[in-house]
Amino acid sequence: MASKRPLTLEYTAEGAAKFLRGNESLIDALPYVDHVPPELRPLVDSLIEEEKRKSIKLPSDYLRELPPVRAPHFDEHPVLKTEYERVRSKEAMKPLDTTRYRLDPPPQNRRGDVNAWRESLNNAHSQLEHQHLRILNQELLLKHGDKAWRAQVQLNEASVKSLEQQLAAIKKETDQLNRERKLQQHAAGAELSKMDRQYLAQVRKNWAIERACMRLEEEVEAAESELQRRVQAVVVQVGSG
């Protein structure tokens, strides 16, 4: 008769497991061979919660074990530094200045100012250069855009293929680990079941011995009572004779 108690492996890992610190205890369930009866499920859940409460590893320990975040350096990027500081201080972004995209003449009160006209002329030159650059970009896009797009697609496909290979390797490693764990658990489960049967056999044997001892004690008590009765009877006969 198999025991209904959950099978567990408990040992002290002296730094042997890479995911444990020294002198930590590990209680590992055997899901491949250990089937918890429904009536024991609440007890198992309560034991798990108790073990979680007793665990010395706090949630902050997981963050502490991660590598530190690299501090940002903006020595050569003052624009990024300014923007980073703006975001840290939670300041709103300044609205875009659209005046440079318009060809406005000088205001009415500065129509006689040569510098004002020179600024408007410089703005016109900037707009002209901007449009020229747009035309050049359009020509480059028409000439090389399809090739650049195909190259980017090939690069993306190569990246996807590389990630798929990495994923397949991780899945293969995971499957291998699960197979090894299953074999180990089946071996451990068979050994634990054997030891459990031996334990129950010894319990039954001890119970049978205890019953036999109780019967012997009862027989001894009965024999002693009979012997005492006969001795009293002999004494009475001797006294009456």
pLDDT class for 164, splitting at 50, 70, 90? very high
Residue 8 is inside which H or E element, if any?
strand 8-13
Query: Could you give the percent of the chain with pLDDT greater than 70?
Result: 88
Nearby residues of 188 by Cβ (< 8 Å), 6 or more positions away: 7, 9, 30, 33
pLDDT at 141 over 50: yes
For the ranges 5-14, 51-60, 189-198, the lowest mean pLDDT is seen at: 5-14
**Helix, strand counts (H, E) of the chain:** 4, 2
pTM: 0.42
